[in-house]
Amino acid sequence: MPSTERALIVEDEYLIAADLEDALGRSGFEVCGVAADGDTARSLAMEHLPTVVLMDVCLEGGREGIEVARWIAEVCNASIIFVTANTDRDTLSRIRERVPGAPVLAKPLDRRQLPDAIAQARGAGGAGASIPKVSTGLAVSA
C-alpha cells in the first residue's frame, strides 16, 4: 500500500483512537488526524482529504457520527468504516440507509478485521459514489 494513503480517525475515546492509529500505521496508512467531534472531523477531512475514515457513531455531543460520515464521504470522496459499540438493528439500518456500503466493525475491534473492512469500503467505489446528495455546507440536512 503506498504511503500516500491517508486515514482519519473519528473517535471520542482516547484509548480506542490510539489503538486504531497504531493498527492503521501498521497497515501502511498515514494517520492525518484524530477527531473527537463532528466539526473537527469535517475540518480535518477538508484539510487532508483522507482516503479512509474510521468513524464512531457516538461522538462528543451525541450520535452524529453517521451524518458526519455521510458528509465526509460525499464531499471528500472518502471510504467510510464504522467502528462502534452501537450495533443494534436501528443503528445498522441508519448506517445502511445514510452511508450505503460502509462496513461496520464492532467494538472491541479485532484488528484482523481491519484489512477486509478497508477492502470492502473501497469496493463500494468510495462511499461517496453511492450516497444521495446533500447540501455541501457544513450542516447536513436530515
Per-residue pLDDT tens over the stretch 11-44: 999 999 999 999 999 999 999 999 999 999 999 9
Selected residue with higher pLDDT from 17 and 4: 17
Decide if 79 contacts 110 (C-beta within 8 A): no
Is residue 57 a part of any domain in this protein? yes
CA distance 61 to 74: 22
CATH number, domain at 113?
3.40.50.2300
Whether 142 shows a pLDDT value over 80: the answer reads no
In the predicted model, what is the mean pLDDT of the chain? Answer: 86
Q: Which domain holds residue 78?
A: 6-130
Number of structural domains in the chain: 1
Selected residue with higher pLDDT from 76 and 131: 76
Is residue 122 a part of any domain in this protein? yes
Q: Are strands 104-106 and 6-10 parallel, antiparallel or unpaired?
A: unpaired
Whether 61 shows a pLDDT value over 80: the answer reads no
Residue type, 24: L
Is residue 14 a part of any domain in this protein? yes
Whether 72 shows a pLDDT value over 50: the answer reads yes
pTM: 0.84
CA distance 19 to 23: 6
Whether 63 shows a pLDDT value over 90: the answer reads no
Whether 84 shows a pLDDT value over 70: the answer reads yes
Peptide bond connecting 2 to the previous residue in cis, omega within 30 degrees of 0: no
For residue 134, count other CB atoms closer than 10 A to its CB: 17
Is residue 27 a part of any domain in this protein? yes
Whether 101 shows a pLDDT value over 90: the answer reads yes
The contacts of residue 135 (CB under 8 Å, 6+ apart) are 141
